[in-house]
Amino acid sequence: MRGFGRGRLEGGGRRGRGFGHGGLRLVLLQLVAEKPRHGYELIKAIEERLGGAYSPSPGVVYPTLTMLEELGYATVTPTEDGRKLYAATAAGLSWLEEQRPELDAVMARLRHEERHERPPQVVRAVENLRLALHLRLERGPLTTEQAEAVADLLDATARNLERI
């Protein structure tokens, strides 16, 4: 169940992998081309566009922003509150135009994921189940009968879900 609420922005593979090679770089640059933003605002903008289904981690976003700056595609301006404001450069805008087909494909995946967001009540219920199972397993080992009962319950739930 790990990563149930995370979004997939690639054509295949495990959920939560992110944007694929270079996709996050394009999206971040597109967002700062729309208007200058702080790193946290960029994370939130992506999360909002995906209805909360996926949020890139700061450990991925900030190094990508640094790379965009080093490539000359973005500038960074420190603000009075100590945060950094990122904006696209002319070279960054030019590069975005060169990458337009790839950017359009990434943005289409974003829109697709946004339309297929997980209902919050289902995400909550899955997280409740995960927590309940975790807490029960932390109390101590299950007997063979208990383990079979848990497995039967989970298998029955899975079968019922397949019928919906």
Which residues, in sequence order, are CB contacts of 73 under 8 Å at separation 6+?
29, 88, 89, 91, 92, 95
Q: How far is CA 124 from the centre of its chain?
A: 17
pTM for the complete prediction?
0.59
Q: How far is CA 159 from the centre of its chain?
A: 28
pLDDT per residue as tens digits for the range 93-141: 999 999 999 988 887 777 666 555 667 787 788 888 888 888 898 899 9
pLDDT per residue as tens digits for the range 31-75: 999 999 999 999 999 888 776 767 888 999 999 999 999 999 999
